[in-house]
Amino acid sequence: MSSSSLIPKYQAAQPIIEPPALPRSASCGDLDLPGPFSLKTESQDETRTGLKRRVNTASTEILGAKKDEVRKVDYFEKLPDELKVRIFGYLRPKELVRASLVSRQWHALCYDGQLWTVFDATEFYKDIPVDKLVGIISTAGGFIRHLNLRGCVQLQNDWRVGAVSTASQNLVYANLEGCKLERIAIHNIVGNNEKLVQINLSGQQSITNSTLRLMAVKCPRLESLDVSWCSGVDAARGLRKIIEGCPELRELKASEMARFDEISPMQAMFRANTLERLYLSGCETLTDDSIRAMVEGRHPDIDPLTGRTTAPPRKLKHLDVSRCSRLTSASLKHLAHNVPDLEGLQLSRCDLLTDDGFTTLLPTLTKLTHLDVEECSQITDETILALASAPCAVTLKHLQLSYCELVGDAGLGPLIKACPNLMNLELDNTRAGDFTMEEIGMQVRRRTDMRGKTGAFVGMRVVMYDCPSITWNGVREVMIRNATKRPYEDVHGQVVQMKCYYGWQMTCDEHLKRVLRGDLCSANKLETKWAEHMIAVEEGHGRRRRRRDAGTQDFIPELDDEAGPVSSWRNRGRRRGASCAIM
């Protein structure tokens, strides 16, 4: 068999190269054999090993460089500017200012006007320096729509305020309360922002009637204005221009403003009939004639059948005339049948109001939710009974009766039953007694409205400190009701929160805390221990009182005898507890 027959077919075309014959006299170490038949020496092995190491090192360096290149890729830089601004939009103002120090690019992004459409300095107005404040407003002035500089007193008498007042030209809401700006700066803000809808200038002593006249011309879209405690503004010359020049005005706050006794501003309110919220607290010049001109007109037409005015009803929803000392019950009678949408009425410290006015007004109110008659000292239970029978008893939520010293259980009991949605009741310094507290605890626990809650929650808050007729028994009755769960109830429901005599307040708070977390057994134990303590204290005081009264009775009949007083005191000394025999 030939050697060619042993070669596979796919190698048949390749010639076979035979190695040359080696001479016998040559040594293997001196030969340099080519191809696979060459012999490997130690030096060659070392060379190849070093080469492999260098190759491995080079490949490792290349791979490390590639990894470093991957790590150094900045994906944030590849984002479009719109997404970057959107990401920075989740930061707070303080965080934006801190992030602006990272780089120039971040500085430009952090002060982009789109991020400052709402500038509210409430959280940092005490810490931010005036240069930063002016810089932000100047940079993003055209984008700012809601500007709140309340309390930024650092802007006072600073030359850079002019940049602030001229930079913002698209404001919709502006709050400048407590800034103490100069008149020219406020005029620039008012004159450059024709889209203003709401502005707060309360406490600005620099503004005058000319400011309101400018506002009436430049801000026709104004809906809310607050000029409370501005001593340079009056109702006749300034406020009247605002009412006449701003047909969309809905809210007006003018507390402690003068010249409301003149008919012109109230007549302007009557003709406009756009106000829904009116705050005139502390206006000492407000009189019954002013209220009549506002709700009925100066010369109203009277319907001969009903005896009421034919003027259209007012749109008022909230009226605050507290601390207007010249108002009498005649004002309440003028409001009757003319404010059907009234929801909030504040009449605190109006000493001249009596039951006659309230019994006329309350039956005509169907949507009343807030009533404040604090320190109306002439009202009695007759007013409270009229409120209980009025249509608004179902909607009433907040009632302030503090310092109504003629109001007692006779009126409060029916009121609690008739007001199923009452949430806040203040009875301090009244004649309310334990009967009222028992009625409150019983009626609140009968309520079935859970208001989306799954456990016990506060359904009514009662303030009843400085009420001499309320004893610890009345407070205990409410605590017992709070910790009692009826058998057919799936959840606990509404409970009462009390603010009472400071010596009992900690116990009431701890008891309420246990009820709210569902630990009724612990709450009942606390109530029992507290009752035992109060009984013991009461018995101790009663024993000492009876002993003192008995000693006084023994002392009085013996005053006529010569030895009476001495013997009396000696007898009292003998009745005391035994002293130490040794001493």
- pLDDT, one tens digit per residue, over 465-475 is 999 999 999 99
Decide: 202 and 181 in contact? Cβ < 8 Å. Answer: no
Q: How many CA atoms lie within 13 A of 376 on its CB side?
A: 30
- pLDDT, one tens digit per residue, over 288-307 is 999 999 999 988 888 888 88
* pLDDT of res. 36: 45
Burial class (CB in 10 A: 0-12, 13-18, 19+), 322: buried
* pLDDT of res. 562: 46
DSSP 119: E
Give dist(CA 252, CA 266) in Å, integer: 13
| DSSP-based helix, strand, coil % in the chain, nearest 5 | 45, 10, 45
* pLDDT of res. 162: 66
Pairing, β 318-320 against β 344-346: parallel
Please count the other Cβ atoms lying within 10 Å of the Cβ belonging to residue 475.
25
* pLDDT of res. 564: 47
* pLDDT of res. 449: 84
* Residues in Cβ contact with 279 at an 8 Å cutoff, skipping those fewer than 6 apart: 228, 252, 253, 254, 255, 318, 320
* pLDDT of res. 568: 41
* pLDDT of res. 136: 84
Distances (CA, A) of 290 to 280, 301, 406, 496: 12, 17, 29, 41
CA 416 remoteness from chain centre: 28
Residue ranges in 486-519 assigned as alpha helix (H): 502-516
Pairing, β 118-120 against β 424-426: unpaired
Give dist(CA 374, CA 401) in Å, integer: 5
* Residues in Cβ contact with 284 at an 8 Å cutoff, skipping those fewer than 6 apart: 324, 325, 326
* pLDDT of res. 421: 95
> Could you say which residues of the chain have pLDDT below 50?
1-13, 22, 24-41, 558-583
Candidates 151, 187, 146, 197; CA nearest to 166 is: 187
The class of domain 73-116 in CATH terms is mainly alpha
Q: What is the pTM of this model?
A: 0.79
Single-letter code of the amino acid located at 144: I
* pLDDT of res. 492: 84
